[in-house]
Structure 1
């Protein structure tokens, strides 16, 4: 019933927009995707559709799921976990998730396994973020948790985490795409581990029972990097 109400409100808004020759699209992106991934495909979409008004919302995965259920946004591009039975989906990309530190960071002993990093200070995102969820699940597969690290700093901003890592304030686990510039410039380095190989999906999602499903899928397909 909640989705029917959301669709009804959205339909009234779209009909009103059409009478003025306009169209609004509201979607959400997680922090990593919004800051490091989406700019190029979105700019291409905007240039192809100059008459469309876009509302882009940033939030962690749990916040975006809530906004979807409330009808605040039409669809989302997320990196975290979500209940797959509740949503229509379209894979955007697969991204490598890696342990990272400053290029000048000196380990007391060269790490080879995850447990070798537990004496380090870890910088992590807040609970509910996709990055935090993926790290916690990857650790759990080896019967570890973030509590196994001796020290931690929780930061709710990706740029701040990367800046602190560049200043050698600890280690972190992030998508390779988010730290690509630091890796290329030589300020950051990946920590190679024998027991940590993680790839994760970036996925478009929208409510399964919305009447606008075909329209949303068409928009997502056009934003998709393969469409460029």
Structure 2
């Protein structure tokens, strides 16, 4: 259980507003102030300061305490489930991953992990990159595979692999296997995942780097999952930009073909991350070792 004063502190870190924090925690504003003053007295340092526009900011020592408190909050939620589990029941690895990796690469990692630790339980949660970090802080998961930036002040992380994005199409598409200029893609339909996903943000970054936008293409299809995107591309409905590891098997067996683009290169780093100084670090490192062996 997270101490109420630390819970108040974390809430204030997020809202940067004493009134909002009081409302969220259902306590009075003076109580919020008292909790912060107590922590500042206990740690003998200022945790917050106001700038010239009366905006609330964390001090450097405040950032340090936030990292510590986030790990406590996360571990508290996870350890509660272990404490409530029946006696002699095997522990559970709660793993989060970005959806694109979770639907393709990560199941191979889990399979190898369970071969090595056959009595281990695993729960896999799919989400978007920023969402996974929130789940870590809340204790919904204990580790994750993400392509989001993981600040070292809050997370332990290690790069797993770097993966390129490739442009793919059906083998029957006119551009299948051809080398073209980026602008030549505009004559065709673009297929991509829905907005507010990391795949969509990656696509928009690629387009902006090449002075392009969605309206430049003949038409487009926006759809929910990466597997749905792949199926539409295989049906020769259009083209798509997808991480190579998602489509490598399709490229190998000929159900998809790559379109080569002059001067095009897009690579993203994927990392394995967990809360800094977490109680579950040793278990996370076991899974990380298996991940590396698979890769």
TM-score using structure 1 length: 0.85
Equivalence for 1:34:
102
Equivalence for 2:292:
225
Show structure 2 runs of 5+ residues with no match. Answer: 1-5, 11-69
- Larger deviation: 23-32 or 80-89? 80-89
Contact 2:142–2:280 under 8 Å retained in 1: no
Asked if residue 184 in structure 1 is aligned to residue 249 in structure 2, the reply is no
Asked if residue 98 in structure 1 is aligned to residue 166 in structure 2, the reply is yes
The structure-2 alpha-carbon separation of the partners of 1:104 and 1:94, relative to structure 1 and needing over 3 Å to count, comes to same
Contact 1:94–1:202 under 8 Å retained in 2: yes
Equivalence for 1:170:
238
The structure with more radius of gyration: 2
Equivalence for 2:46:
none
Equivalence for 2:19:
none
Asked if residue 84 in structure 1 is aligned to residue 151 in structure 2, the reply is yes
Asked if residue 155 in structure 1 is aligned to residue 223 in structure 2, the reply is yes
The structure-2 alpha-carbon separation of the partners of 1:27 and 1:147, relative to structure 1 and needing over 3 Å to count, comes to farther
Relative contact order higher in (CA < 8 Å, ≥ 6 apart): 1
Question: Partners in 2 of 1:83 and 1:21 — Cα distance?
Answer: 32
Count of residue correspondences: 224
- Larger deviation: 54-63 or 95-104? 54-63
SS at match of 1:118: helix
Pairing of 1:1-228 with structure 2 (within 5 A): 1=6, 2=10, 3=70, 4-17=72-85, 19-78=87-146, 80-85=147-152, 86-107=154-175, 112-208=180-276, 210-212=277-279, 214-215=281-282, 217-226=284-293
SS at match of 1:84: coil
Contact 2:143–2:273 under 8 Å retained in 1: yes
Contact 2:172–2:236 under 8 Å retained in 1: yes
Cα offset for 1:5?
2.5
Cα offset for 1:192?
0.5
